[in-house]
Each structure stands twice: as C-alpha cells, then as structure tokens.
C-alpha cells in the first residue's frame, strides 16, 4: 500500500480518459447542489477534503467489472486504477470542475436538477466574503429566474454575459488553454482596462493557480493485494458513502462473467425471503451459507471465512443457490414448529446460517422428515440458544456445527461440540430481564410450544393467533403490584415472572394481585374457574400460588418448570439446581423432592 499526493488536474484527466474508473460494486451516487458548492469552496480555498483510495488494476487476483465515472466520455477504455473510496468527491469534482456537461445533482429536497458552477471574481478575492458565497450555481440554460420564471435575476448564457457579471466558469479551471482563452477575451471585453487586468491577475494568483496545483492524498493498493485485504482495508478507511461489503466485492467479481448477483439476490429475496422471519437473512449471510455448503460438499477443508466467501466460484453459487434457498425455507419451518414466529423473537440471526446448510444437506439426502433426525437438529439448535453460543465471531462455529451435526446424524456417539459444551446456569433465569437476550427469547418460545392459551380467549397461541391478537410478553404478578409489595426486581422483572399474553388480556389484568385479576376475569363471565385454571397451567404457572398471591412460591414453581423445559429442549440435564448460588438467588433449591 502506497500513499502519495496527486494534483487534482492529473486525477481529473485520468477520470476523463478512463484511466481511473469505478468497480461495478460502486453504485451511482449524487451529491446535492449545496454539498457540491461546499466542496468547490474547500478546494478553491486549499482546504483538505480527505483521501481517496485506489486499487491498481491488471492482475487476475482481482477481476472486477468496471465502469467510467458518470459523465466521462471514455469508451472501451481499460483502467489502470479502480476508485475504491472517494467516488462521490471525485464524481462531483469531475462534473463541476472538468466536464463540459451540466452537472446532474439534486436540491436539498431531493428534486433532480442540472447545474453549472461559476465563481464570482470580485467576491473570491475579497477577504470580507466567505468563499462559499462566491460560488454560484446556475441552471442548465445558465439563466437564473424568480417569480416562476417571470423575472430574470442572472444571465450567463453567453461568454459576454459571463464577462459582464464577472463570473468565471469553474468547469475550465483545470485547463490552462481554456483559462488563457477566457482571460484574453475577458480583457478584450473590458478594453484592456488596467483595473480589470489587475483584479483578474489577483484572482489568478489567489485562486486559479492554487486550484490547478491542489493535491489530494491517494492511498494506492497494489495489484497483488488479496481480495480479503481489499475488503478489510476499505472497511478501515471508509467513513461514509456506500459500504464495501463482501457481497459488493463478489457482485463485482461475478459481473466479469456477466452474472448479475445483485439482481439474483433481490429477486430471490422478493420471492422467498420476504416473510418476517427470513427478512433477517441478508445477501452476505446467503453467500456465507453458500460457501459453507459448497466447501462441505467438496469433502475437503470446510470453511466460510471472509476470504473463502470472496473465493466462492460463480459455478458453485449457481449450483447451490436454489437448493440453499429451500434449506432456508425449511429452517424457517422448523423454527415455526419451535414457536419462533417473528424476527423480533429470533434468538440468534446468525444461527440461521448453519441451520439452513444442515437443512439443505438433509433435504438432498431425503432425511429431513425423519423424526429422530429432525429432533437432533432441534436439540442442537436449543443448545446453541441456551448455551448462548452464537453471540460472537461465528465462522468457526458454523463449520464445527455443520460438520458435527452431520457426523452426529450418522453416528449417535459423535456428539457435536455445541451440544457437548452447552451449559445453562439456573441462576441465569434471574438475570434474563430483557427480551434482547437470546435465552430470554428461547424460553418464551418454549412456553408457546407448550400449547399455552390466552387467559381470556383460551386460544392456543399458534402463528395465526400470535400475529392477529398482538401477543407480547407481560408480567404474571404485575409490575405495579410487585413494586407496592417491595418484591425484589431481580425476581419480578425476570423471565420467570413473564409470559406471552394478548394485548386485550393484559389490559384486563391491570396492576392488581393475581387473585384479583383472575376473579375479575371470572366475574365478568369471560371464562369458568376450572377452565381458567387450565389456561394458567398451560403457561407453567402454579394456579394455587396465583390464587393465593404467593409470589415467592410462584417464582420457585415456575423456575423449576422452565428449567425442566430447557433440559428437554437441549436434551441434557441442567446441573447446579441445588447449588449455593441458587439458594442465594432463589431462597430454595430448584428441585422437586
């Protein structure tokens, strides 16, 4: 990697001739009129505008499809450098300070407009005027009007009118020959008036020459730079604009073979990934899963790190994209079987990746419908959730889990690492206070999976009811009641004291003791006492403790029930239910004796 300063005139010439072009992942970007004026003001004031980053082009190591900057006339030119960072600045500079065409820009409200830019000579050399005030933006016809076009405010539609208004056209400021021609005609227009010549000479010295000599720092990555390094370096230096993701790089690589990856993904997303749960899967997730699948199928080293994704071949993508899509759809169906219906309730979005790959492999082997195999998938999934395994860097875990679960399916003795290592501490129940936690979301899914019913309607909270009745998580012993009785928040606000309830039922409950809201439900004729008891029990809630307002017993009973459910989901016992830590936190052992 090299860093040097390049004259703006040299950079603009490179853009004009196509020596410097954009890789195809850099999408079009338009700066608004005011921002372009501010950029011009900075350059003509010799203020820094930040570095640009280029990639030396011409090595098979990185083959990107490329295109010229908007407005550049170069046709069929092969670039020697690609612009990775600085597209917006260089495009705005080229169109306003070099191109003969009107600049495509927008107003501050987003309305598309075309503009030419001038600088007021008198204002530019005045120490009392801010440089931005000297930059004038005019429409494509070079006539500024007001009152809906009735009043002409400024006209620079001819060279003579430019002279008359002392407005210098900025799109010639980097061309010595054009500057000299304009200057000669300017002097002639004013009959070589000494004061005009003196004024322009000052303008030329203060502004024109420094602008021509203005330099921009350029970071140049050599042609030998690996793809993953290009991606990493860009992430480190890019502070705005279009982020260079793995997906953007692979899109540009595939474009060399005339495959439109972006369009393929957008079509696929619209058709298959449009339901709430699957909307969490982004383009890079899909490429990561495809890389994981393809490397597993090759029976060599399985990997899906960034460098592996960047080396995914177009042939492998085409080979697996459809079957992988079905794998994601099957993963979604399994999650819904486990009562995870919406993206907000998904414990880990990242766990979707290995799960989809596993489903793809098992669909291909026609094993996905076999009960004991699907049960292993579910046990692995819940071990990941309750072991809280997917919170950090995950590429290595993806690999271990796909290989490990497939081995486990083939041989019961080969238990995958995530299943072996998963551990749930019973006191974790008390620290699960927010629905942002994966384990918290997992526990609520297990309650739903127990066929829990709404306290009033008695409807089982399946997918349809969950969405239609605005099911959300609410306190069993209400918050107001607990605070009035000075119960510890670590208990009443924990997952142990929460359950899925419909919006209308939660309003009926209010902030009173359970015995009162249960009686209220019965007295209003909503549901019979024995039936209501069944509804409450379906949430693993002790009806006896609720009717007796026994908060402490309620917490113990439900904590035991939740731990039993977690054990069943993970397929392994939870140790430490009678530990000192449990006794200190709950006041009792979490064991039924």
CA dihedral 253, 259, 265, 271 (to 10 degrees): -170
**Cα distance between residue 428 and residue 387, in whole Å:** 11
Strand partners, 458: none
Q: Are both 115 and 258 inside the same structural domain?
A: no
Q: Are both 178 and 35 inside the same structural domain?
A: yes
Domain boundary, last residue among 173, 200, 217 = 217
Q: Where are the beta strands (DSSP E) in 107-150?
A: 112-120, 135-139, 143-146
pLDDT > 80? residue 525: no
Percentage of the chain modeled with pLDDT above 90: 73
pLDDT score of 370: 94
pLDDT score of 459: 86
User: Mind giving me the DSSP string for 8-60?
Assistant: HHHHHHHHHHTSEEEETTS-----BHHHHHHHHHHHHTT-----EEEEE---T
pLDDT score of 6: 94
**Cα distance between residue 473 and residue 505, in whole Å:** 11
From the centroid of its chain, how far is CA 420?
32
Look at 40-54, 148-162, 176-190, 241-255 and tell me which has the smallest mean pLDDT. Answer: 241-255
Look at 149-163, 242-256, 399-413, 514-528 and tell me which has the smallest mean pLDDT. Answer: 242-256
Strand partners, 152: 145
State mean pLDDT over 395-407: 95
Percentage of the chain modeled with pLDDT above 70: 95
State mean pLDDT over 146-157: 91
* Residue carrying the six token digits 């399994």: 334
**Residue 225 is assigned to a structural domain of this protein:** no
State mean pLDDT over 273-287: 93
State the chain's mean pLDDT as an integer: 91
pLDDT > 70? residue 62: no
State mean pLDDT over 360-370: 95
Q: Are both 439 and 551 inside the same structural domain?
A: yes
pLDDT > 90? residue 586: yes
User: What's the chain's Rg over C-alpha atoms?
Assistant: 34
Q: Are both 370 and 447 inside the same structural domain?
A: no
pLDDT score of 458: 87
pLDDT score of 25: 63
Tokens at 521, concatenated: 């439900």
Note whether 556 and 590 are within 8 A (CB).
yes
**Residue 236 is assigned to a structural domain of this protein:** no
**Residue 403 is assigned to a structural domain of this protein:** yes
At 114, the pLDDT band (50, 70, 90 cuts) reads: very high
Q: Are strands 52-56 and 151-155 parallel, antiparallel or unpaired?
A: unpaired
Kindly report, residue by residue over 535-578, the tens digit of the pLDDT: 999 999 999 999 999 999 999 999 999 999 999 999 999 999 99
Residues counted in the chain: 593
pLDDT score of 506: 83
Q: Give the domain range for residue 276.
A: 245-415
Q: Are both 30 and 152 inside the same structural domain?
A: yes
Q: Are both 523 and 469 inside the same structural domain?
A: yes
Q: Are both 209 and 116 inside the same structural domain?
A: yes
State mean pLDDT over 108-119: 93
**Residue 423 is assigned to a structural domain of this protein:** no
At 234, the pLDDT band (50, 70, 90 cuts) reads: low
Q: Are both 351 and 450 inside the same structural domain?
A: no
SS (H, E, C) 519-567: HHHHHCCCCCHHHHHHHHHCCCCCHHHHHCCCHHHHHHHHHHHHHHHHH
pLDDT > 90? residue 285: yes
Predicted structure pTM score: 0.75
How many structural domains is the chain composed of? 3
What number of helices (H) and strands (E) belong to the chain? Answer: 30, 14
**Residue 227 is assigned to a structural domain of this protein:** no
Q: Are both 170 and 142 inside the same structural domain?
A: yes
pLDDT > 80? residue 60: no
Q: Are both 302 and 372 inside the same structural domain?
A: yes
Q: Are strands 151-155 and 81-85 parallel, antiparallel or unpaired?
A: unpaired
Kindly report, residue by residue over 449-493, the tens digit of the pLDDT: 999 998 888 888 877 777 776 788 999 999 999 999 999 999 999
State mean pLDDT over 178-193: 97
At 439, the pLDDT band (50, 70, 90 cuts) reads: very high
pLDDT > 90? residue 402: yes
**Residue 223 is assigned to a structural domain of this protein:** no
Domain boundary, last residue among 372, 388, 415 = 415
State mean pLDDT over 384-399: 89
pLDDT score of 241: 47
**Residue 306 is assigned to a structural domain of this protein:** yes
State mean pLDDT over 225-229: 74
Domain boundary, last residue among 197, 217, 237 = 217
Backbone angles phi, psi at 50, to 5 degrees: 95, 165
Look at 97 and 241; give whichever has higher pLDDT. 97
Kindly report, residue by residue over 167-181, the tens digit of the pLDDT: 999 999 999 999 999
**Residue 272 is assigned to a structural domain of this protein:** yes
pLDDT score of 246: 84
Q: Are both 408 and 440 inside the same structural domain?
A: no
**Cα distance between residue 459 and residue 465, in whole Å:** 7
**Helix, strand, or coil (residue 138):** strand
pLDDT score of 59: 63
Q: Are both 367 and 501 inside the same structural domain?
A: no
């Amino acid at each position: 990697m090299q860093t040097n300063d390049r004259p703006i005139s040299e950079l603009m010439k490179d853009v004009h001739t196509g020596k410097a072009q954009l890789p195809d992942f850099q999408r079009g970007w338009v700066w608004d009129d005011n921002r372009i004026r501010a950029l011009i003001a900075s350059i003509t004031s010799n203020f820094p505008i930040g570095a640009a980053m280029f990639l030396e082009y011409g090595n098979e190591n990185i083959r990107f499809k490329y295109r010229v900057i908007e407005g550049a006339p170069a046709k069929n030119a092969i670039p020697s450098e690609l612009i990775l960072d600085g597209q917006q600045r260089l495009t705005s500079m080229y169109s306003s300070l070099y191109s003969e065409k009107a600049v495509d820009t927008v107003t501050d409200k987003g309305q598309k407009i075309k503009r030419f830019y001038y600088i007021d000579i008198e204002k530019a050399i005045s120490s009392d005027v801010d440089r931005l005030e000297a930059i004038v933006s005019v429409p494509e016809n070079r006539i500024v009007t007001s009152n809906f076009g009735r009043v002409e405010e400024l006209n620079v539609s001819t060279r003579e009118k430019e002279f008359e208004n002392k407005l210098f056209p900025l799109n010639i400021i980097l061309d010595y020959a054009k500057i000299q021609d304009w200057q000669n005609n300017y002097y002639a227009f004013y009959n070589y008036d000494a004061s005009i010549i003196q004024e322009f000479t000052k303008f030329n010295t203060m502004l024109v020459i420094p602008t021509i000599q203005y330099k921009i720092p350029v970071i140049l990555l050599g042609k030998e730079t690996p793809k993953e390094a290009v991606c990493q370096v860009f992430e480190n230096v890019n502070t705005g604009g279009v982020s260079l993701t793995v997906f953007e790089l692979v899109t540009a690589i595939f474009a060399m073979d005339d495959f439109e990856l972006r369009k393929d993904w957008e079509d696929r997303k619209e058709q298959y990934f449009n339901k709430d749960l699957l909307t969490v899967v982004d383009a890079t997730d899909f490429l990561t899963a495809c890389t994981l699948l393809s490397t597993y199928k090759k029976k060599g080293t399985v990997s899906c790190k960034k460098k592996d994704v960047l080396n995914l071949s177009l042939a492998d993508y085409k080979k697996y994209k459809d079957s992988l899509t079905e794998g994601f759809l099957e993963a979604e169906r399994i999650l819904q079987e486990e009562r995870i219906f919406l993206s907000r309730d998904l414990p880990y979005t990242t766990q979707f990746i290995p799960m989809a790959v596993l489903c793809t492999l098992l669909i291909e082997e026609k094993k996905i419908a076999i009960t004991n195999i699907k049960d292993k998938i579910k046990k692995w999934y819940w071990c990941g959730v309750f072991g809280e395994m997917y919170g950090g860097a995950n590429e290595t875990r993806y690999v271990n889990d796909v290989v490990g679960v497939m081995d486990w399916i083939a041989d019961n003795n080969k238990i995958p690492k995530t299943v072996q290592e998963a551990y749930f501490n019973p006191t974790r129940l008390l620290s699960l206070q927010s629905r942002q936690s994966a384990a918290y979301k997992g526990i609520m899914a297990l309650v739903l999976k127990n066929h829990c019913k709404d306290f009033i309607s008695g409807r089982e909270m399946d997918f349809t009811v969950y969405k239609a009745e605005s099911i959300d998580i609410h306190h069993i012993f209400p918050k107001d009641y607990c605070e009035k009785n000075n119960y510890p928040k670590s208990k009443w606000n924990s997952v142990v004291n929460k359950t899925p309830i419909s919006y209308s039922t939660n309003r009926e409950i209010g902030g009173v003791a359970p015995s009162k809201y249960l009686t209220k439900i019965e007295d209003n004729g909503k549901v019979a006492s024995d039936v209501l008891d069944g509804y409450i029990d379906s949430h693993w809630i002790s009806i006896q403790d609720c009717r007796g307002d026994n908060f402490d017993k309620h917490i113990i009973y439900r904590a035991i029930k939740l731990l039993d459910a977690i054990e069943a989901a993970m397929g392994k016992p939870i140790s430490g239910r009678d530990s000192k830590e449990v006794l200190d936190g709950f006041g009792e052992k979490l064991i039924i004796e």
